[in-house]
Structure 1
Amino acid sequence: MSTRGTKPETMKALVAYNKEKYVFETAYPTPECGSDDIIIKTEACGVCASDLKCSHGAAMYWGDDIQPAWVKPPVIPGHEFFGKIVEMGENVKGYELGERIIADQIVPCGECRFCKDGHYWMCQPHNIFGFQKENNGGMAEYVKFPKTAVISRVPEEMSIEKALLIEPYGCSKHAVDRGNITNEDVVVISGAGTLGLGMVTYARMKNPRRLIVLDMVEARLNKAKEFGADLVFNPGTVDVVKEIQDLTDGYGCDVYIEATGHPSSVVQGLSMVRKLGRFVEFSVFGEPTTVDWSIIGDRKELDILGSHLSPYAYPFVIENMENGNLKTDGVVSRKFAIEEWEKAFEYASGKYGDFKVALVF
């Protein structure tokens, strides 16, 4: 017997039927609650760059001659969402109707070697909310959290604008942690979008010797300064490699975190980081990147570190948003109703200067 609140049989939802067919539905079936599931009523869902790339038909989502399709349509997009519990299966313990919750974007299988040894974010099947029909996302009025979802509680008093940043800031935290920043390090963060800003405000808590941010957009650099950057540079107007070398007696930065997804930022970082330095790659790229690998080995002996998702990060992010250590002001710049999803996707591209755009219910 499930614990039930009030839930209609149908709901409003954005549904991707294939890469050319995204449809706003007014009467899509509401998810059914199994004995181990939780159903939430969505409060809001952020629009991520990956949502845009998927909607544009990127091969990494829909497949091509080289890679198989990862998306399993029909699927409801969205992985940056949260809401309140309206129904729970009979086996669910420890939660109550009306509680405000959020889940990690990955839905781990619980059975593979990575799940069993604690690295659940690298789960081998790698199913994520918003990309497979079995794990519909948050661009709908209701969402089902299955048994293996990694759930965190969201404080009732937390604003929607802050709660929308839990997922991206969780990813930011993991990327910064991968860099093992100390208070003796000169740190460069390349890219000051939503995720880059999350990295800036969290890296500030690490108290590096100097925190430097690069971006091509002046408004983003201004926000980075507000969030704790010591110095900001625009690679479009200054020679940033020379600037960093001049600041470090010609050695280069200790840690470089790449958060733009542009090939030029990778080449720039390899040139900028010192010998024995640490290079953290976070971004998803729309095109291949070609670099001289001898820089990594023979010339500099670099540590190259990848960063994926936001493991074990949500509780820390939620607590430090609430106490003010993680800055969030002005990052969520625009909100739209689900009916305006096309407009939301357009603004989420950043062409109008927005950081984070969201759908609200």
Structure 2
Amino acid sequence: MINLRFRANEQNEIIIPKTMKAAYLQKPLEVSVENIEVPSVKGKEVLVKMMAIGICGSDVHYYAHGRIGNRLVQYPHIQGHECAGIVVAAGDEVTRFKIGDRVAIEPGVACLSCDYCKEGRYNLCPDVQFLSTPPVKGAFVQYLKHHENFLFEIPDSLSYEIATLAEPLSVGIHAVRRGNLKPGATVLITGMGPVGLMTVIAAKAFGATEIIVSDMEPLRLVAAKRLGATRAINFTEVDTNDVVNNVTSGQGVDMIIETSGNAKALQSAINMVRRGGTIVAIGFPAMEEVPLNVTKMLQNEIDLFTVYRYTNTYPLAIKILESMGNEIGHVITDRYSLEDINEAMKQAHTNRSGSLKVMVYPN
């Protein structure tokens, strides 16, 4: 330990060590925990003691395959970007936070000066530094340095682990905003992984009254119902198109949000959305090109929106999570220490039928 002591409050004193543990992806399916120096902070930088980190689908892709599209892992690599913690040090220009503040971390630090950032679409910033997206190192560390503009205070009533869900919930919020979801809408959400589950919450918060979901895993369908889905379809047993036709009297749903990345799910969405309806694509397909029936889309004037991360969503996401209280805790099914990161990643990779959100606790 070094003698860097920061007063969090009158009762607690924070001691920052000289070194910390970090989880390095060494090659596909192999992670090791190493000791590295704790980063120092300056200017607008804030040092956050990491209290909880959720494993994301993209983490699993990089863990198992070493790439997503043309983004290749540069080994050794640190993963993780769904995270929350406590402020333990701040640069001399930081004005928004003090030692001891509890924060959720928005993982993408945009330049805030390019045309995209000025338009408010900073998710498209070509210079964004997004935690865990190669070559940027991620959050599976005990202490993380981050820009204060992308930290958000969380209330005492919100646990660190639930606060990490602000990241996948942000994707859902951005999706329903992109599709301009209206109160009273009928929505079909395909794929009930963590992002799909959070999109159920977003659709409900934005006023959808009929929320149909589909997946093949019973655990995920049950979780979706608990979060607000009105109908849950196991597509291996029931034809989703038949259910949509019955619910909408053959008209189709107002909006379909595809979260799984399954090409067939995206293609079939064109047949289940109403004339003049909207399709929002979140999930990345395994292939770069997916054939779509554009003729039918033209004839029915179907809008297709794509989603890439999110913008200006964290304050709302935190409010929604706070309002849900204990209604959302069941989404977190597995908990591991940072030392057990190999087991945590393996669980997230192989146990779709038994796990929803796998959580890692660095400290």
TM-score by length of 1: 0.89
Aligned equivalents of 2:55 and 2:98: distance in 1? 28
Q: 1:60 Cα deviation (Å)? A: 2.9
Secondary structure in 2 matching 1:101: strand
Aligned equivalents of 2:256 and 2:340: distance in 1? 38
Q: 1:209 Cα deviation (Å)? A: 4.1
Aligned equivalents of 1:105 and 1:98: distance in 2? 20
- Asked if 1 retains the 8 angstrom alpha-carbon contact of 2:63 and 2:345, the reply is no
Between stretches 188-197 and 15-24, larger displacement belongs to: 15-24
Q: 1:168 Cα deviation (Å)? A: 1.2
- Residues 58/285 of structure 1: CA separation in 2 closer, same or farther (3 Å cut): farther
> What CA deviation, in whole Å up to 9, does each residue of 1:64-93 have, x standing for no partner?
xxx4x4655544211001111111111111
- Asked if 2 retains the 8 angstrom alpha-carbon contact of 1:189 and 1:258, the reply is yes
Q: 1:164 Cα deviation (Å)? A: 2.4
Question: Residue 283 in 1 paired to residue 286 in 2?
Answer: no
Aligned equivalents of 1:252 and 1:283: distance in 2? 21
- Residues 187/326 of structure 1: CA separation in 2 closer, same or farther (3 Å cut): farther
Between stretches 173-182 and 200-209, larger displacement belongs to: 200-209
Aligned equivalents of 1:71 and 1:112: distance in 2? 26
Aligned partner of 1:64 in structure 2 is: none
- Residues 320/185 of structure 1: CA separation in 2 closer, same or farther (3 Å cut): closer
Aligned partner of 1:34 in structure 2 is: 42
- Asked if 2 retains the 8 angstrom alpha-carbon contact of 1:3 and 1:89, the reply is no
- Residues 244/138 of structure 1: CA separation in 2 closer, same or farther (3 Å cut): same
Aligned partner of 2:100 in structure 1 is: 98
Aligned partner of 1:253 in structure 2 is: 253
Aligned partner of 1:53 in structure 2 is: 61
> What CA deviation, in whole Å up to 9, does each residue of 1:31-66 have, x standing for no partner?
1212331111100111101011112234436xxxxx
> What CA deviation, in whole Å up to 9, does each residue of 1:282-313 have, x standing for no partner?
11233345323324543322110111223211
Aligned partner of 1:77 in structure 2 is: 79
Aligned equivalents of 1:328 and 1:351: distance in 2? 19
- Which of 51, 55, 77 aligns to 1:43? It is 51
Secondary structure in 1 matching 2:359: strand
Question: Residue 11 in 1 paired to residue 11 in 2?
Answer: no
Q: 1:219 Cα deviation (Å)? A: 2.0
Aligned equivalents of 2:40 and 2:25: distance in 1? 19
- Asked if 2 retains the 8 angstrom alpha-carbon contact of 1:191 and 1:214, the reply is yes
- Asked if 2 retains the 8 angstrom alpha-carbon contact of 1:76 and 1:131, the reply is no
- Residues 351/186 of structure 1: CA separation in 2 closer, same or farther (3 Å cut): closer
Name the aligned partner's letter for residue 177 of structure 1. R
- Asked if 1 retains the 8 angstrom alpha-carbon contact of 2:30 and 2:342, the reply is no
- Residues 95/184 of structure 1: CA separation in 2 closer, same or farther (3 Å cut): closer
Name the aligned partner's letter for residue 15 of structure 1. Y
- Asked if 1 retains the 8 angstrom alpha-carbon contact of 2:107 and 2:130, the reply is yes
Q: 1:353 Cα deviation (Å)? A: 1.5
Question: Residue 145 in 1 paired to residue 155 in 2?
Answer: no
> What CA deviation, in whole Å up to 9, does each residue of 1:212-261 have, x standing for no partner?
11111122212222222221211111121122123223221110000112
- Asked if 1 retains the 8 angstrom alpha-carbon contact of 2:244 and 2:252, the reply is yes
Instruction: Provide the aligned C-alpha RMSD in A.
Output: 2.4
Aligned partner of 2:91 in structure 1 is: 89
Name the aligned partner's letter for residue 255 of structure 1. M
Aligned equivalents of 2:325 and 2:306: distance in 1? 25
Aligned partner of 1:353 in structure 2 is: 354
- Residues 257/116 of structure 1: CA separation in 2 closer, same or farther (3 Å cut): same
- Which of 33, 45, 48 aligns to 1:24? It is 33
Question: Residue 115 in 1 paired to residue 123 in 2?
Answer: no
Aligned partner of 2:156 in structure 1 is: 156
Aligned equivalents of 1:59 and 1:30: distance in 2? 28
Secondary structure in 1 matching 2:68: helix
Aligned partner of 1:203 in structure 2 is: 203
Name the aligned partner's letter for residue 290 of structure 1. V
Counterpart mapping for 1:118-129 below 5 A: 118-129=120-131
Aligned equivalents of 2:134 and 2:219: distance in 1? 36
Secondary structure in 2 matching 1:242: helix
- Asked if 2 retains the 8 angstrom alpha-carbon contact of 1:227 and 1:327, the reply is yes
TM-score by length of 2: 0.89
Aligned equivalents of 1:260 and 1:185: distance in 2? 21
Aligned equivalents of 2:218 and 2:353: distance in 1? 13
Q: Percent identity?
A: 27
Between stretches 257-266 and 180-189, larger displacement belongs to: 180-189
Aligned equivalents of 1:209 and 1:163: distance in 2? 26
- Residues 169/107 of structure 1: CA separation in 2 closer, same or farther (3 Å cut): same
Aligned equivalents of 1:30 and 1:136: distance in 2? 14
Q: 1:351 Cα deviation (Å)? A: 3.2
- Asked if 2 retains the 8 angstrom alpha-carbon contact of 1:188 and 1:256, the reply is yes
> What CA deviation, in whole Å up to 9, does each residue of 1:95-154 have, x standing for no partner?
111111122121101222111222112211232012356x5322110000036x412111
The structure where helix makes up a greater share of residues is: 2
Secondary structure in 2 matching 1:330: helix
